[in-house]
Structure 1
Amino acid sequence: MEEKIGGMPYNMNKSLEFISMIEACGLIDLGYTGLPYTWCNQRNAQARVWKRLDRSMVNDKWLETMPQTTIEHLSSVGSDHKSSSIEMVRKNEDHIKYFKFLHCWVDNESFIETVQNCWKREVTGNPMWKLH
């Protein structure tokens, strides 16, 4: 996919030092979902230019810690530049939740009603939160 539509052809020589720095630092472009271009000059169809100006670059350590990081390009409102939404999910292997159940709970008169009411509650976010 082209990173630019319209306008003068881009001279890659302008970016060689920057590309070398990215490689030297071991940075990786996370990619994105959503709209491909993050900037538009807002001119008429003949003179319109679209570019993907923004990147989310991370290193290996970041990917080990937050492997499920996602970037979404959002629609622009009143600007020539689009916003990005970054969702970071930290990998937490050290924290293990164990389910604990004491059988004595079932002897309580309101046990069944309490469990039924909990399962009826509206839960927003991750459906697995219903289990916690």
Structure 2
Amino acid sequence: MEIVKFRPSFPNELSLPSRGRSGGLALLWSNDVNLEIKSFSRHHIDVVIVESGNGFSWRFIGLYGHPETHLREESWKLLSFLCNQFNLPWFCCGDFNEILSMNEKSGDAQRSQSQMGSFCRVVNLCGFKDLGYYGPDFTWCNMKEGLNRILLRLDRAFATSDWFEFFKSPQVHHLVESTSNHCILTISDLPPPTHKNKRRFHFEAIWIKREDCREIIKAAWDSSSLSATPKGVASNLKRCASALANWNQNVVGNISKQFQEKRRTLSSFTMDDQQGSQEADINHLRNEINDLLDSEETLWRQRSKVHWYRERDRNTKFFHA
């Protein structure tokens, strides 16, 4: 959550804290989104969004179903209540903590039919259609091996028919997350645009965690005689910057790209390992992804003007040593 808040593209936030390791809701949006908060609780956020240009209005509800089975009926009562509040196209997604059929479960005992039936009834009452998904069939795992492993599709996205009339090609992707036993759900209507912006050299804080960084700087600095003139210092700084940029591209690599590649590998492993026999390899891959997440968080902290002073320009002393 913190790493997303560092990004300047999401300056607006409504967050509701978790209780222990469960629950917690957050909604972040950019300044160009016309959004009005209607209601919220520990288990839902209800907003109305007006599309710029054509004025199309629709509802978004993020829902967290009660994790306790005996309280889950309260979640369905909440959905029923929200259904009668506004007559707008409706999109709803979240962790419902329930499945619609036994096809959405692997391992352990059979699910109670009445338990699943209550969920089915409120889905029909709201006029929801499931958006489907790409990726692993299950969005939650108890992280155990072999016969003790349980897999469930607890996270999903629904929408009403009139919402589909405006958003023609929505896609839901299940992304395996290294730091959670839940998948991340990404929902898009159009592929995101790609922008390649040329950026100036900037010393990255994550570099000082690597021993070879000092060697790169020393080699570049010692490759010519150091001049006491400002011109000589500037020349050596330029040489160091060039050497570090090449080293970063060819050795360190793109952290985000590495993260995406390893997460795809993790997703593939998870889909293939229904019996839990590769859990050790999966956990090793999770640790590698977590290391990349730490590096990415450092990158975003450094780029955040709000947090720059807290991090301090730690490269100054190191770079000129």
Alignment of 1:15-94 (within 5 A): 15-89=116-190
* 2:103 match: secondary structure: coil
C-alpha RMSD over aligned residues? 1.9
Percent identical: 32
How many pairs are equivalent? 92
* 1:76 match: secondary structure: coil
Structure 2 segments unaligned to the other structure (5+ residues): 1-101, 196-321
Q: CA deviation at 1:20?
A: 1.2
Q: Who is 1:13 aligned against?
A: 114
Q: CA deviation at 1:72?
A: 0.2
- In the TM superposition, what whole-angstrom CA distance separates every residue of 1:57-96 from its partner, at most 9, and x where no partner exists? 000111001021100000121211111111034xxxxxxx
* 1:73 match: secondary structure: strand
What is the TM-score of this pair, normalised by structure 1? 0.64
Amino acid at match of 1:70: Q
- In the TM superposition, what whole-angstrom CA distance separates every residue of 1:2-37 from its partner, at most 9, and x where no partner exists? 211101111121122221121122110010001111
* 1:56 match: secondary structure: strand
Q: Who is 1:4 aligned against?
A: 105
Question: Distance in 1 between the 2:118 and 2:137 partners?
Answer: 24
Q: CA deviation at 1:124?
A: 3.5
Question: Distance in 2 between the 1:16 and 1:52 partners?
Answer: 16
Question: Distance in 1 between the 2:110 and 2:174 partners?
Answer: 24
* 2:155 match: secondary structure: coil
Amino acid at match of 1:66: F
Structure 1 segments unaligned to the other structure (5+ residues): 90-122, 126-132
Question: Distance in 2 between the 1:14 and 1:36 partners?
Answer: 21
2:142–2:149 contact (8 Å) kept in structure 1: yes
Amino acid at match of 2:165: E
Question: Distance in 1 between the 2:119 and 2:138 partners?
Answer: 20
